[in-house]
Amino acid sequence: MNSVQIAGIITEYNPLHGGHVHLMEETRRQLGADSAILCVMSGNFVQRGDFALVSKYARAEAAVRSGADLVLELPLPWAVASAERFADGGVQTLLSTGIVTHLAFGSECGAAEPLIQLAGVLTGEAFSRRLREELSVGVSFAAARQRAAEELTSPETAALLRTPNNILGIEYCKSLLRHGSTLKLLTVPRQGAAHDGAIAEGETPSASAIRSLIESGERERALSLMAPAMASAYAAEEAAGRAPVFAHTCERAILARLRTMGETDFARLDEGREGLYRRVYAAARTAPSVAEVLARAKTKRYAYARLRRMVLWAYLGLAPDDCPAAPPYLRPLAANENGRGLLSQMRSTASVPILTKPAAVRRMGPSAKAVFEWESRAADLYALAYPDLARAAGGQAWKEGPVMC
């Protein structure tokens, strides 16, 4: 299997739709029919600071039945972090397998070279200096980054930072540069609606649009827009009382957690050390809903996603400073026959342990034990959002293993 091209894809599949399948198909078309696809996927909670619509195992199985060979979990501290840390966690997971040859991703520009060039600028000291200067005048991080990039490159080049998939691609490139990686880049023009965009006739919808359809009761339409394997997995989880999963189901639990935290607890959640935690702390004292907490804490400087992540970290009992430097193990979620071959190969190439049986984590180091304990606690808190509370028994993370398709 050493001569096989193996593409890594960092993803959430929340839920899996036609655009995701297209990326896998196009990646395999470009690398050859005998190439393999290894996904690194967020677990039960996702980067925008939210609960995943269905469980990680259901989404991973759907991915394997839709073209992936192996799905590894992106551990929780990276899955619910900023775009930079999310990307770095995904890249480090791919690198630690020791077998991945390419990093594949969708982008609005459809070309890797301008993204890697801009990433080089963004990792330089000149950019860091200009970014600090821009932030000092009180503008948002996105606006400060845009202005600094325009000054050091050109408005055309800096415009790559205006679209979400390009931004994530640049973060992948920054991580590859930091780690001195020789992974080859393969980017495919993103198909379909923009993130959070409305659904247009004949256009592949965004995952957020599909989630909105489910939440508004348009179930059949939502299922028709998912990849077929994802629709089947969703229907099975729904029938079992485990889907759909929405954060608002746990709203009182989240508010209870926020109201029992002190100001110093909130301070630990503020990655930027800008005093944002004070706004969230003050809002959480009196706001009657999570939406109201976010609305009262929001200013033009801070994105809602950042605020949602702070609230989610609070609910999960995590803090950014807890995050290790790198994912301490590789945890398979689903695999087909080819994927099992990849796992076998990784046992001699991976730089970190492969965790297929949860009990094995007890023989690993303190970092691995801490991350798995967070995963276990998060799984228990995620289950509280199941429509059928009778299915929300705790301790399941210690019993579950990868789905073999």
Residues 306-329 have pLDDT tens digits of 999 999 999 999 998 888 999 999
Which band of pLDDT confidence, cut at 50, 70 and 90, is reported for residue 192?
low
- Checking phi first, is residue 32 left (phi over 0); if not, alpha (psi -120 to 50) or beta? left
51 in Cβ contact with 246 (< 8 Å): yes
Distance of alpha carbon 93 from alpha carbon 67, whole angstroms: 20
The first and second tokens of residue 392, run together, are: 């929300």
Which band of pLDDT confidence, cut at 50, 70 and 90, is reported for residue 302?
confident
Residue type, 323: C
Q: Is the pLDDT of residue 197 over 70?
A: no
- Comparison of pLDDT for 145 and 301, the residue scoring more: 145
In this structure, what DSSP letter does residue 393 have?
Answer: -
Residues near 296 by beta carbon (within 8 Å), at least 6 away in sequence: 279, 282, 283, 287
Distance of CA 142 to the CA centre of its chain: 19
Q: Is the pLDDT of residue 141 over 60?
A: yes
Q: What are the tens digits of pLDDT across the range 75-120?
A: 999 999 999 999 999 999 999 999 999 999 999 999 999 999 999 9
Distance of alpha carbon 356 from alpha carbon 344, whole angstroms: 12
Distance of alpha carbon 4 from alpha carbon 98, whole angstroms: 13
Beta-sheet pairing, 332-335 with 70-74: antiparallel
| pLDDT reported for residue 1 | 44
97 in Cβ contact with 350 (< 8 Å): yes
Q: Identify the bridge partners of residue 290 per DSSP, sorted by sequence position.
A: none
Distance of alpha carbon 219 from alpha carbon 236, whole angstroms: 14
Of 45, 52, 38, the residue nearest 10 (C-alpha): 38
| Number of other residues whose CB lies within 10 A of the CB of residue 124 | 12
Which band of pLDDT confidence, cut at 50, 70 and 90, is reported for residue 3?
confident
Helix (H) or strand (E) holding 305: helix 304-316
Which band of pLDDT confidence, cut at 50, 70 and 90, is reported for residue 195?
low
Q: 185 phi and psi, to 5 degrees?
A: -95, 140
Distance of alpha carbon 198 from alpha carbon 213, whole angstroms: 11
| pLDDT reported for residue 323 | 85
Distance of alpha carbon 335 from alpha carbon 356, whole angstroms: 11
Q: Is the pLDDT of residue 274 over 80?
A: no
Over the chain, what is the mean pLDDT? 94
Q: What are the tens digits of pLDDT across the range 329-387?
A: 999 999 999 999 999 999 999 999 999 999 999 999 999 999 999 999 999 999 999 99
Helix (H) or strand (E) holding 220: helix 219-225
Of 107, 125, 9, 15, the residue nearest 61 (C-alpha): 15
